[in-house]
Amino acid sequence: MKLSSPLYVVWETTLDWNARCVHCYSDALFGRGPDYWPLEDALELIDQLAEAGVFILALSGGEVLLRSDWEQLIDHATSLGMRVTFATNGILVTPEVARRLKELGVSNVSVSLDGATAETHDAIRRLSGIFDKACAAAQYLTEAGVRVTINYTPMKPNLGEAQDMIVLRITLAQKKSTSRNMFIPHGMVLT
């Protein structure tokens, strides 16, 4: 079988970010501002990806949920038959957002957890309270029936917590909709 286009595309939908992660690979900046692409251009890109045969569209950033039009992007992609996933730090995930993601047909949400304790995770993400919000986001999504992946980037500040991350993942993964996939290294790992 010869493929004429990628089956899986990761799209950095915004450069706006609400954390200051030490290991970020993106050009995203805290409070950077407006949507990366205007809605009309974004919808056109989704059309082009669907026409090319892209099967999975992974929305990334920055923080996808900072886009004012995130629902429209997801709705449009799923209406064209694409499987939509995205990554979040969890800050903006509420029970209502989790239910809406399920309604829109999001197939997986990756929640970033870079430490098994608030002290470690908050230090890596450089934002106090983000650990609790990420854990709550994973729970809200699971309760809404959205498949959740915990993204953990091993690096010097958190390597000692790897075993505790497994326990935390199991704690957050009590329902079938939570993936057992935990180690997804990205960024400047092990720095």
What is the rounded CA–CA span in Å between residue 187 and residue 182?
15
What is the rounded CA–CA span in Å between residue 116 and residue 26?
24
Residue with tokens 């290294």: 185
- What integer pLDDT is reported at residue 144 of this predicted model? 95
Question: pLDDT tens across 75-106, in order?
Answer: 999 999 999 998 999 999 999 999 999 999 99
174 has a pLDDT exceeding 80: no
Residue 40 binned pLDDT confidence (cut-offs 50, 70, 90): very high
**What predicted TM-score, i.e. pTM, was given to this entire model?**
0.83
- Is 32 domain-assigned? yes
- Is 3 domain-assigned? no
Q: Please, where are the H alpha helices in the chain? A: 39-52, 70-79, 95-104, 118-125, 130-144, 162-172
Query: Residues 129, 131, 136, 141: is their CA dihedral positive or negative?
Result: positive
Of 3-12, 65-74, 102-111, 173-182, minimum mean pLDDT range: 173-182
Q: Are 148 and 179 in contact (CB under 8 A)?
A: yes
**Residues spanned by the domain of 57:** 8-172
What is the total count of domains within the chain? Answer: 1
- What integer pLDDT is reported at residue 191 of this predicted model? 44
- Is 168 domain-assigned? yes
Q: Are 189 and 154 in contact (CB under 8 A)?
A: yes
Q: Are 16 and 66 in contact (CB under 8 A)?
A: yes
**Residue 39, domain CATH:** 3.20.20.70
- Is 55 domain-assigned? yes
Residue 12 binned pLDDT confidence (cut-offs 50, 70, 90): confident
> 125: which 2 tokens?
């993400």
- Is 182 domain-assigned? no
- What integer pLDDT is reported at residue 149 of this predicted model? 87
What is the rounded CA–CA span in Å between residue 97 and residue 108?
14
Spell 67-94 as b/e; 16+ CB within 10 A means b: bebbeebbbbbbeeebbbbbbbbbbebe
- Is 150 domain-assigned? yes
- Higher pLDDT, residue 27 or 69: 69
- Is 183 domain-assigned? no
Using DSSP, state whether 115 is helix, strand or coil.
Answer: coil
- Is 21 domain-assigned? yes
